[in-house]
Amino acid sequence: MWMFSPAGRTNMSYIYVDWRERATMTPADAPAIETDGLTKRYGDTTAVSELTMSVEQGTVYGFLGPNGAGKTTTMRMLTTLTKPTSGAARVAGHPITDRESVTPHIGYLPEEPPIYDELTGREQLEYAAGLRDLPADVASERIAAHLERFDLLEDADRRIEGYSKGMRQKVGVIQAVLHEPAVAFLDEPTSGLDPRAARTMRETIADLADQKMTIFLSTHILPVVDALADEIGVLHGGELVAQGDPETLKSRAETGEVRSLEEAFLEVTQDHGEQAPETEPSAK
């Protein structure tokens, strides 16, 4: 269980009292995520091809790729929502074929957060907490703290049907991490957020990682990845075409020259001629 520090939102520091419970869910030496030849085909389309990767516990993994690269398909396989055609993966130490074992340890923010228009924000989060069997007192404390952090307290008792896209996104993210999963899969978490909310989101992700939650972060906003990721993987045409820590990816092996993450991204994905990714702010 966690709570805000007495200084509240101003110093943005969470205090997680009970993170050990989460940390022990994954065997101490097991990677948070490991895949071996993970492949998904839809008819003639190979969405993900022979993906082999490993993500350490308590790290932020930036998962990049142009549109159609296979990022969502990968996340859907790792969150047990779709079955691989071949290959294997373990999340939090459990094989993804064992859905019941994996799901208690993961949270997922998909592109469209699964929320109900007819509920209020607070009811939606209480519902999500109930699905995760959180005790009511723990749930209400966490919900209140998250709502405050994301500046949603005033709107918490309004129906979601009247929420903006950004407010929906905030609810979606909160419900993905409310149960303090070992691994959170976040697909474009800053989507629709204004600059202040986007900053809160980045700080929240950093805090969660500090408290040993593994964050699998997919976004086209490269500065967010540059700021947060311990490791980056670039998917292209379903294949992992580059992997490493941000500094290694940005330095050109031959010359040692350091380029921006955007330049590195464009270079490793240039063969197939995709457009430049969305950036924040625009690079030139």
Ligand X SMILES: Nc1ncnc2c1ncn2[C@@H]1O[C@H](COP(=O)(O)OP(=O)(O)OP(=O)(O)O)[C@@H](O)[C@H]1O
CB of 75 to ligand X, least distance (A): 8
Q: Report the residue number, 91 or 156, with the smaller CB distance to ligand X.
A: 91
For the record, the structure tokens of 39 come out as 């492949």
Considering only residues 5, 13, 24, 45, which one is a binding residue for ligand X as defined by CB under 6 A? 45
CB of 127 to ligand X, least distance (A): 27
CB of 218 to ligand X, least distance (A): 7
Exposed/middle/buried for 34, CB within 10 Å: 0-12, 13-18, 19+? middle
Q: Give the per-residue contact string, 54-73, with ligand X (x = CB under 6 A; - = no).
A: -----------x-xxxxxxx
Considering only residues 33, 38, 47, 176, which one is a binding residue for ligand X as defined by CB under 6 A? 47
53 touches ligand X (CB under 6 A): no
- CA distances to 120, 194, 195 from 198, rounded to whole Å, are 22, 6, 5
| Phi, psi for residue 98 in degrees, rounded to 5 | -100, 80
- Judged by CB under 6 A, how many residues of this single chain contact ligand X? 11
Of 154, 159, 192, nearest to 173 (Cα)? 192
CB of 278 to ligand X, least distance (A): 10
49 touches ligand X (CB under 6 A): no
42 touches ligand X (CB under 6 A): yes
- Give the count of beta carbons closer than 10 Å to the beta carbon of residue 35: 25
Q: What is the DSSP string of 130-161?
A: HHTT--HHHHHHHHHHHHHHTT-GGGTTSBGG
Q: Which residues bind ligand X (CB under 6 A)?
A: 42, 45, 47, 65, 67-73
